[in-house]
């Protein structure tokens, strides 16, 4: 332990310029970030660009610090003086924790308390965010450092990885964002890859077999790409579909069903502004979901279908779908559409979703600065509430405004706004404060009553619909 601290002190003494720059970047970010949150007023374009630049610079600072500290006593090569000395590697963990993680967490804590949220407003959110950053940013950086010998070499590897990743995203993973992942896929994969990567890191430190480690990492990266590609294109077919079906059982309620209303789709239901990825075609079917209680909401709506036409059969993976009042929209690959839209096709549709039912409601009196459920805090910005949460808002919440007391002296229209479902950050957000503007139709003043309703999961269900003969061409969203 003492030796580890001793090495840590040496690293700090040698790397204090890099560390100083990192701290300055964090300070600059802490000062500038609140200005560019949505709803904080229109910031200067320069400030916007600066904050964006700062996030990239902070990422680069992570990289430089981690690579430099690992290269202090680097693993690649045979002439390093420590190879024939009794060394302790726990110092590395101490340094990365004390000089990379801790300042970052302190900055985030400061931003949270400055927003009035309190540092421990959301321990689960903070843990999740830090683990994500660790898996996506810090651990790969450590691995790159462990298999290279100079900072420029490490940069080359990083740039190479990014270039490959971006080109893969553009070429192979079109439409991947829409594909549904099997339940707990994210958690399982995260643990799996975290274990693999940590394993390689520990192996490289124990054995210093650089070429083996490099090959292993390349294989793991290829495996990762293959997995994503497989999911995106449903190459894992049956087991994934079986898992998904298992989690979304066929509904036992007879009232829930899909009804096909032949004819064209009502104009307002055509999702013409929904983004359709390249290589896909958007389809909006006049299908209505009946039997869902009026105040229930749907989440995670996905569709999988089998289409047969002229001897051609296509089975789609589970993909995201949009449910309207009398419409159901989803995407079809261009090539498939061209084959089946010519004439009539047999379409067998499966639909799944999670039901959300309204739960506890809380009425909050608006004021200049007021607390709201979900550990949030809102301020009134010219009659519009702007709310801040720490890291995420896991529970979907619906906000309704009522102006019974006429405090605003305006009309008594009761409007409603829906805060975004599950504000789970990608894990790499530098700013821990999630800020949202509540777009209510009426202005809100001090004293207005706002009702916050939380929605809770009310079960998963799956429905089927069979259309023996349908011309998909007429339902293409223009």
Partner 1 sequence: MTPQPPAIEARQLSKQFGAAQVFSPLDLVVPAGSIFALVGHNGAGKTTLIKLLMNILRPSAGAATVLGQPTTSLSSSAFTRIGYVSENQELPEWMTVQGFLDYLRPFYPKWDESGLLADLDLPPDQKLKHLSRGMRMKALFASVLAFHPSLILMDEPFSGLDPVTRDELIQTLLGRMSPEDDRLNHRGTTILISSHDLAEIESFATHVAFLHRGALLFAEPMDTLIARFREVTVTLSTGETVGANADLPADWLSPESCGAVLRFVHSRADREDPEMEVRKLLPGIRHVESEPMTLRTIFLALAKANRHQEWSRS
**Sites of contact with partner 1 (CB under 8 A):** 2-3, 6, 10, 14, 72, 77-81, 83-88
Residue closer to partner 1, measured from CB, 10 or 339: 10
Min CB(395)–partner 1 separation in Å:
51
Min CB(85)–partner 1 separation in Å:
6
CA distance 145 to 157: 9
Min CB(84)–partner 1 separation in Å:
4
CA distance 239 to 245: 10
Instruction: Give 62: exposed, middle or buried? Use CB within 10 Å, 0-12, 13-18, 19+.
Output: buried
Q: What residue has token string 């894992």?
A: 236
Residue closer to partner 1, measured from CB, 88 or 335: 88
Q: Would you call 26 helix, strand, or coil by DSSP?
A: helix
Residue closer to partner 1, measured from CB, 150 or 412: 150
Min CB(155)–partner 1 separation in Å:
21
Residue closer to partner 1, measured from CB, 83 or 159: 83
Tokens coding 319: 């993909």
Q: What are the Cα distances from residue 411, in Å, to 56, 129, 406, 436, 445? A: 46, 42, 8, 24, 12
Q: Are 303 and 330 in contact (CB under 8 A)?
A: yes
Min CB(219)–partner 1 separation in Å:
22
Min CB(61)–partner 1 separation in Å:
21
Q: Are 353 and 301 in contact (CB under 8 A)?
A: yes
Bridge partners, residue 377, by sequence: 371, 388
CA distance 317 to 319: 6
Residue closer to partner 1, measured from CB, 2 or 46: 2
Query: CB neighbours (10 Å) of residue 159?
Result: 10
Q: Are 180 and 248 in contact (CB under 8 A)?
A: no
Residue closer to partner 1, measured from CB, 85 or 278: 85
Min CB(100)–partner 1 separation in Å:
21
Q: Which residues contact 299 (CB under 8 A, 6 or more apart)?
A: 353, 354, 355, 356, 396, 421, 457
Min CB(203)–partner 1 separation in Å:
15
CA distance 200 to 83: 19
Residue closer to partner 1, measured from CB, 83 or 298: 83
Residue closer to partner 1, measured from CB, 21 or 189: 21
Min CB(162)–partner 1 separation in Å:
30
Min CB(396)–partner 1 separation in Å:
54
E-strand stretches of 415-448: 416-418, 433-437
For residue 115, how many C-alpha atoms fall within 13 Å in the half-sphere facing its CB? 32
CA distance 201 to 217: 10
Residue closer to partner 1, measured from CB, 20 or 237: 20
Cα 199 versus chain centre, distance: 26
Q: Which residues contact 267 (CB under 8 A, 6 or more apart)?
A: none
Residue closer to partner 1, measured from CB, 3 or 474: 3
CA distance 225 to 410: 56
């Amino acid at each position: 332990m003492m030796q580890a601290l001793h090495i840590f002190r040496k690293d700090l003494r040698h790397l204090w310029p890099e560390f100083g720059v990192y701290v300055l970047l964090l300070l600059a970010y802490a000062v500038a970030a609140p200005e560019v949150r949505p709803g904080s007023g229109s910031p200067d374009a320069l400030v916007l660009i600066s904050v964006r630049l700062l996030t990239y610079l902070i990422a680069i600072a992570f990289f430089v610090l981690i690579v430099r500290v690992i290269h202090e006593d680097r693993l690649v090569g045979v002439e390093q003086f420590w190879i024939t000395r009794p060394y302790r590697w726990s110092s590395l963990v101490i340094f990365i924790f004390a000089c990379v993680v801790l300042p970052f967490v302190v900055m985030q804590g400061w931003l949270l308390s400055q927003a009035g949220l309190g540092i421990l407003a959301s321990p689960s959110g903070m843990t999740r965010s830090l683990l994500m950053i660790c898996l996506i940013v810090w651990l790969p950086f450590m691995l790159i450092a462990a298999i290279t010998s100079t900072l420029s070499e490490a940069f080359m590897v990083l740039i190479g990885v990014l270039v490959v990743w971006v080109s893969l995203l553009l070429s192979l993973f079109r439409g991947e964002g829409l594909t549904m992942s099997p339940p707990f896929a994210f958690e399982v994969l995260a643990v799996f890859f975290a274990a693999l990567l940590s394993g390689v890191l520990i192996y490289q430190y124990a054995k210093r077999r650089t070429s083996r480690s490099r090959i292993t990492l390349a294989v793991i990266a290829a495996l990762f790409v293959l997995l994503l590609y497989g999911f995106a294109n449903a190459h894992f077919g049956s087991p994934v579909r079986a898992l998904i079906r298992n989690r979304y059982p066929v509904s036992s309620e007879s009232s829930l069903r899909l009804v096909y209303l032949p004819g064209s789709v009502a104009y307002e239901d055509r999702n013409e502004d929904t983004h359709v990825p390249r290589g896909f075609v958007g389809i909006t079917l006049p299908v209505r979901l009946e039997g869902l209680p009026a105040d229930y909401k749907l989440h995670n709506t996905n569709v999988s279908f089998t289409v047969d036409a002229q001897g051609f059969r296509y089975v789609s993976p589970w993909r995201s779908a949009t449910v309207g009042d009398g419409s159901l929209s989803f995407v079809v690959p261009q090539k498939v559409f061209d084959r089946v839209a010519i004439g009539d096709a047999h379409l067998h549709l499966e639909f799944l979703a999670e039901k959300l039912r309204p739960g506890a409601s809380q009425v909050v009196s608006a004021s200049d600065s007021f607390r709201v459920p979900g550990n949030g805090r809102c301020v009134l910005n010219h009659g519009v509430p702007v709310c801040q949460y720490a890291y995420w808002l896991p529970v979907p919440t619906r906000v309704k405004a009522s102006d019974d007391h006429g405090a605003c002296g305006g009309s008594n229209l009761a409007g409603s706004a829906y805060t975004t479902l599950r504000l789970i950050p990608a894990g790499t957000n530098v700013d821990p404060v999630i800020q949202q503007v509540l777009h209510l139709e009426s202005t809100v003043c001090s004293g207005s009553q706002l009702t916050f309703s939380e929605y809770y999961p009310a079960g998963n269900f799956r429905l089927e619909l069979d259309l023996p003969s349908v011309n998909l061409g007429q339902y293409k969203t223009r």
